[in-house]
Structure 1
Amino acid sequence: MHDAAQARLPRPRQPGPKVARHFVRGQVLDALRAALLEGELVPGEIYSGPALGERFGVSATPVREAMQQLAMEGAVECLPNRGFRVVVRTPRELAELAEVRALLEVPVMLRLARTVPPEAWESLRPAAAATGEAAASGDLAGYAEADRAFHRAVLSLSGNGQLLQVADDLHRRAQWPSAGVPRLRRADLVADAAEHSALLEALVAGEVGTVEALVREHFAGA
């Protein structure tokens, strides 16, 4: 009886298709983020899921799923039965995001500058170097990821997971392009990456006054 009952049990479903779908959705999301940052998807324009799916060689489903994630990140808005419109933001909105980020991150960085030992800051050198490499290549999407990774690495030393989540969301929203604001040039990326390196050197040296001046300047130019 036991063997017969076992024989009637359904076989477990193979995870392959689910994993493959998740992988495709992730690839499409990365491609859409890059297209937004490179200006290939224009603020104010409407794009349909099927058309974008054809462009990327996938069905409309992973495109819609990726666009829903981008809507949560403030990059697009969903238009029922029409598609997705790239959000139009003003320079003032970007300035407001920079102000909020500064209010959140600057006090934490200054506290960490006074309390975190030099060896902990030394561990962040690969993250700072990654921003420099992405900047040198002029890769906007790659730089956006490296930039956020460096800030996450700094703030992670606070041990506050909620802070990391909020700060990362604000940072990503601040990175989306805005109408009337020129796209960042390679020289802009290199300058921004250099600020990361200078900040890290000041943190390693424990120069709190220099750290404060650098982080305030960094957010003022964000």
Structure 2
Amino acid sequence: MAELRQLALPSFARRMSVREEVADALRGAIVSGEMKPGELYSAPGLAERFGISATPVREAMLDLVKQGLVEVVRNKGFKVTDMSETDLDQITQIRELLEPPIAAQAVASITEQELTHLRNLAAAIVDAAADGDLISYIGADREFHVRLLSASGNQRLVRIVEELRAQTRLYGLSSLASSGRLVASAREHLQMCEFIEAGEAQKLQDLMRTHIGHIRREWAGRED
């Protein structure tokens, strides 16, 4: 059984929507590589770490099963679904085709209020990177990109991208955070906001493509 004390998981004992909160935290731990393929995790063990009952944790894990992030190990618990290098390359290729042009399209529709929200999220991403808080980083990063793409009005595409992002593995995040290099990548979100404010759709599209490329290279622990 994996050692739960090694996972940077928060306590949700006093939060509402516990099932969703737990699912988000576990998704972040999986994407960041803190929860690793091949290791076994039990709902009671995770529940003890969260400081809640096992039921919402089990329900959250089953939600992640439906998303293909974890698998049920009969009478034992759950394990993180392994993703091959080919799988991750294909996910990145699809994201590069979908996200940059849609983000550029969304520029004309983003309101001042929504831009303020994006700026706040971008700042939260930078702060989480500086603190080495990978789960908060993943959560804020996910919300930033979902909100940006949602401004295009194409919710079907947003759901597809959400699924692809959830399946991505960023095994190099821990080393980037400890070296301080993650902050530089995090600041790209602030630059995206600047391009949105200036109406620079093409520059946003180019930066978004570079940003996704980071995910498959240094963020995923690859040198090429």
Give the TM bin, normalised by the shorter chain.
Answer: 0.7 to 0.9
Between stretches 187-196 and 96-105, larger displacement belongs to 187-196
Structure number, greater radius of gyration: 1
Q: Give the corresponding residue for 2:176.
A: 185
1:199 is matched with which residue: 192, 197, 207?
192
Could you tell me whether the CA contact under 8 Å between 2:126 and 2:186 is conserved in 1? yes
Distance 1:156 1:80, change over 3 A: same
Q: Could you say what secondary structure the match of 2:156 adopts?
A: helix
Displacement of 1:142 in angstroms is 0.3
Q: Deviations over 1:122-157 (max 9, x none)?
A: 433222222122222111000101101111121121
1:159 is matched with which residue: 131, 153, 156?
153
Could you tell me whether the CA contact under 8 Å between 1:138 and 1:185 is conserved in 2? no
For 1:135 and 1:99, the matched residues in 2 are separated by 25
Q: Could you say what secondary structure the match of 1:142 adopts?
A: helix
Q: Give the corresponding residue for 2:142.
A: 148
For 2:98 and 2:156, the matched residues in 1 are separated by 12
Q: Give the corresponding residue for 1:89.
A: 83
Displacement of 1:58 in angstroms is 4.2
Q: How many residues align?
A: 199
Could you tell me whether the CA contact under 8 Å between 2:101 and 2:205 is conserved in 1? no
Q: Could you say what secondary structure the match of 1:42 adopts?
A: coil
For 1:21 and 1:125, the matched residues in 2 are separated by 25
CA RMSD of aligned residues (A): 2.9
The one-letter amino acid of 1:193's match is A
The one-letter amino acid of 1:61's match is T
Displacement of 1:163 in angstroms is 2.3
Q: Give the corresponding residue for 1:100.
A: 94
Percent identity, aligned pairs only, is 42
Q: Give the corresponding residue for 1:11.
A: none
TM-score by length of 1: 0.74
For 1:26 and 1:208, the matched residues in 2 are separated by 34
Displacement of 1:106 in angstroms is 1.5
For 1:152 and 1:126, the matched residues in 2 are separated by 14
Displacement of 1:121 in angstroms is 6.7
For 1:221 and 1:192, the matched residues in 2 are separated by 8
For 1:87 and 1:163, the matched residues in 2 are separated by 24
Between stretches 203-212 and 21-30, larger displacement belongs to 21-30
Q: Which runs of 4+ in 1 moved over 6 A?
A: none
Distance 1:184 1:200, change over 3 A: farther
Q: Could you say what secondary structure the match of 2:205 adopts?
A: helix
What 5-or-longer segments of structure 1 have no aligned partner? 1-19
